[in-house]
Amino acid sequence: MPYAKISIESIAARAKVGKQTIYRWWPSKGAVIVDSFLALSEATTDPESAGSAITLPDTGDLEADLKLVLRATVAEFADRDFEQPIRALTTEIVNDPSLAALYREKLAHPVDEAKKTRLRSAQRAGQLAEDADLELVLEVLYAPLFQRWLYRSGPLTAQYADSLVEATLRAFRP
Amino acid sequence: MPYAKISIESIAARAKVGKQTIYRWWPSKGAVIVDSFLALSEATTDPESAGSAITLPDTGDLEADLKLVLRATVAEFADRDFEQPIRALTTEIVNDPSLAALYREKLAHPVDEAKKTRLRSAQRAGQLAEDADLELVLEVLYAPLFQRWLYRSGPLTAQYADSLVEATLRAFRP
């Protein structure tokens, strides 16, 4: 269903509850969407590890590890099943500062922290500049992919993932 | 007015025409938005130069020229008057592939060509790698700024613009 056609009414009908039940818990369609993503991300977190399940591979080779992760991210963005929900989430985030803050705190922040842990390990191993701004490193690595997907402005391929990793490592090598 | 509240009806009322008049020319609210941006971009094009008015400064110093341009872009994104229309445009582009294609062809492509002309000049001057993929260079330069604005995930400052230029030039130096 195209996102503009989804409504609190259609969500309530699908859930077989009255729309007041939905409104009691969520102030808007966007809040429902963000909470769905949050529930999904918690469901995929390993319960054994008490909420700190997100880790990136660390084989000691930063370039190889980032290529693995970025190729998986590219594949996810190119997946048609992922397409509609993430566009719905993005639409809400673009237009609602409070949902953008909720998204950053609950969904983006824990993942970014896991990525930064991997980057700090690379700094200690002398594979990334000690004074690199890790926020900027993550933006240079991921934002081009996100923008290309959002504007549908170019192919999302493993080769593109590799090019992004290589450009990022050239920009922030010791 | 928040974008979700804008409708063909409200556009028609504001323009003092019937809504059928709007529907005769534009299939959707998104099409009205894209055409408004296009009209604005044509209005700011110098009529003397027959449509090829977009050029980037070329003082011979790529780093200085890109910092000037990127600082202006950061200032534009941080401008509250620019905020609502560009969020409206982005919302439409996220959800409508045909509007995304129209945006790329009519608005993004001419600007990107002007930027590439400047980058090619830098390649000839030995300030940028001869084999640099110019699409990728532009993505690394601009996408982090766009994403930071979109998610409201960090400050948009002249210093940030400078950091992006410096990271990009390190990634693609000869």
Please compute, for residue B97, the number of CA atoms within 13 A of its CA located in the half-sphere on the CB side: 6
Minimum distance, in Å, between the CA of residue A63 and any CA atom of chain B:
14
* Closest residue on chain A to B137 (Cα): A167
Does residue B64 lie in a domain region? Answer: yes
Residue B53: partners with Cβ closer than 8 Å, 6 or more residues away: B45, B46
Tell which of A153, A157, A165 to mutate to test the B interface (max B CBs under 10 Å).
A153
If 0-12 CB within 10 Å is exposed, 13-18 middle and 19+ buried, where does residue A2 land? exposed
Q: Are the Cβ atoms of B154 and A140 closer than 8 angstroms?
A: no
For residue B22, being part of any structural domain is answered with no
pLDDT at B42: 63
- Provide the 3-class DSSP secondary structure of residue B1: coil
Residue A71 in domain: yes
**In terms of pLDDT, which residue wins out, B16 or A120?**
A120
Q: Are B4 and A95 in contact (CB under 8 A)?
A: yes
Cβ contact A151–B2 (<8 Å): no
Is residue B172 classed exposed, middle or buried when 0-12, 13-18 and 19+ CB atoms within 10 A define those classes? buried
What pLDDT was estimated at residue A49? 47
- The closest of A84, A87, A82, A103 to A38, measured between CA atoms, is A103
Whether residue B27 is contained in a domain is answered as no
HSE toward the beta carbon, residue B138, CA cutoff 13 A = 18
Task: Report helix, strand or coil for B140.
Answer: helix
At A166, which amino acid appears? E
- Comparing alpha-carbon positions, the chain A residue that sits nearest to B30 is A4
- Domain count along chain B: 1
Within-domain flag for A11: no
Contact B2 A100 (CB under 8 A): no
- pLDDT (0 to 100) of residue B66: 96
Is there a contact between A140 and B90 if contact means CB atoms under 8 Å apart? Answer: no
Q: Which residue has the higher pLDDT, A170 or B82?
A: A170
Name the closest residue on chain B to residue A4, using Cα atoms: B95
For chain A, give the mean pLDDT. 85
Would you state the pLDDT for residue B3?
Answer: 63
First-to-last alpha carbon distance for chain A, in angstroms, is 48
A to B CB pairs, distance under 8 Å: 104
Rounded to the nearest angstrom, the minimum Cα separation between B91 and chain A is 6
Nearest CA of chain B to the CA of A117: how many Å? 19
- What CATH code is carried by the domain that includes residue A45? 1.10.357.10
Q: Tell whether A146 is covered by a domain.
A: yes
The DSSP annotation for B57-108 comes to --SS-HHHHHHHHHHHHHHHHH-HHHHHHHHHHHHHHHH-HHHHHHHIIIII
A139: nearest CB among B87, B136, B144: B144
pLDDT attached to residue B173: 96
CA distance A48 to chain B (A): 31
Instruction: Provide, as residue numbers in chain B, all residues whose Cβ is less than 8 Å from the Cβ of A136.
Output: 144, 163-164, 167
Q: Tell me, what's the pLDDT at B10?
A: 76
* Averaged pLDDT for residues A52-74: 90
Main-chain dihedrals φ then ψ at residue A106, nearest 5 degrees: -90, -35
Whether pLDDT at A70 is above 60: yes
Across the interface, which of A3, A94, A108 has its CB nearest the CB of B90?
A94
Q: Would you say residue B121 lies in a domain?
A: yes
ipTM comes to 0.82
CB contacts, 8 Å: A100 with chain B: 151-153
What is the phi-psi region of residue B133: left when phi exceeds 0, alpha when psi lies from -120 to 50, beta otherwise?
A: beta
Can you read off the two tokens belonging to residue B6?
A: 């804008």
B167–A163 CB contact, under 8 Å? no
In Å, how far from its chain's centre is CA B124? Answer: 26
3-state secondary structure chain A: CCHHHCCHHHHHHHHCCCHHHHHHHCCCHHHHHHHHHHHHHHHCCCHHHCCCCCCCCCCCCHHHHHHHHHHHHHHHHHCHHHHHHHHHHHHHHHHCHHHHHHHHHHHHHHHHHHHHHHHHHHHHCCCCCCCCCHHHHHHHHHHHHHHHHHHCCCCCCHHHHHHHHHHHHHHCCC
User: Is the pLDDT reported for residue A33 higher than 80?
Assistant: no
**Residue B17: how many CB atoms within 10 A of its CB?**
12
Please indicate, yes or no, if residue B95 is contained in any of the structural domains.
yes
Q: What is the pLDDT along chain B (174 residues), one digit of tens a residue?
A: 566 667 777 777 777 777 777 777 776 777 777 777 777 666 555 445 444 567 889 999 999 999 999 999 999 888 888 888 888 888 888 888 888 888 888 888 989 999 999 999 999 999 999 999 999 999 999 999 999 999 999 999 999 999 999 999 999 999
Cβ-based interface (< 8 Å): residues of A facing B: 2-4, 87, 90-91, 93-95, 97, 100-101, 103-104, 108, 133, 135-136, 139-140, 142-144, 146-148, 150-154, 163-164, 167-168, 170-172
pLDDT at position A4:
63
CB contact under 8 A, A104 and B163: no
Range of the domain at B102: 51-171
Over residues A139-152, the mean pLDDT reads 95
Residues composing chain A: 174
